[in-house]
Structure 1
Amino acid sequence: MSENSAAPGTPPGTAPGPQPEPIRFFGTTWVDHDGGYGLRRAGVAVGSLAAAVAACFVLRFAYEGLEIAEVGGFVGVLVIAMFSICSAIAFRKTWEGFGARPKDPSREDALRGLKSIGFIGSLLAYFVRSLTEAPGEKLRRAEYEKARAQFEKRRSTRTGNPAARKTSGRKRPKRG
């Protein structure tokens, strides 16, 4: 968030203060729930569920390919277990990401491959969260409100023009 930029929907320079962080597919419409926010949430929910269903069909075709290749039952069980476990982990990590910033970004980078394999879990987490709010809205709203409160607190402690303050014991020469 930038400290000296205008709030969304206001012309630049009219309302100084922190700027809300945009959310993918929502921009800054999550702040006031305007600009088609409800339709965007519905679209994200439907889109993520449709993508998860399509991904399940793709995985089914891949599994059928394994059956056609006659690789054996053990490999089929391993593939199903791998996608199930990775999807569960991806769901959990994606869900946690909606509520808090990662404490260790390097660990998140290390889990990127696992989350890619379990992409269905991430899509389902996105779907479930979009039923109640924009994914990540709660976290960004808390950060935004905290930044606004800090800005207002700093702003209220400043009074008057600092250039017009009198210095102790010294008089300024008059300009003529």
Structure 2
Amino acid sequence: MEVSTEWQKWLTNCNSFELDSILSLLLQIKLLGFKEKLSRFIMNVFFYHDILNNLVKSNYHLFILGIFHQTYFRNYKLMSNKEVSKGQFDLKIEPTEKANFKTGVYMEFKILKYDKYGKFQNKEKLQNKTNEALKQIKNKRYFSDFPEFIEQCVICEVACQKKDVYIVGEVLNSW
């Protein structure tokens, strides 16, 4: 019984404050803090060799889903890979009417792989990928299905290359 209690305490306290802080910053539309904390968290958690040969979008996508699992406990819906409007979004956080912040979020993920010479691409390419994702969200009008009570929509693009993450976010006050 004592081992069980200790294990439960450890699981309860394991990085939960940092994860909660990352989500809170996003939902409160404090995008600069969100970008910094998420980038730092990925840098500290990912092991270089774990992602060396598996540089695929689903690795990062599932990792972010795991970070945001707590949305359910805050009266939000967390959705992944659903068709909406003219396309399919990667991740959506939609508040219910009971949520503290009436902020909806769409995230799109892009991955930079090796170039044709087997080298990593530069930061400028990461920035281009995030701009590509931003255009995709806007052009396909993912946000058109949000309920009327939502006050603001954050569209967030995450481009990843190994442990390097480049995040761009934009707030839409009307859609």
Shorter-chain TM-score: which interval?
Answer: under 0.3
More strand by share: 2
* Bigger relative contact order, structure 1 or 2 (CA pairs below 8 A, ≥6 apart): 1
TM-score, normalising length: structure 1 = 0.28
TM-score, normalising length: structure 2 = 0.28
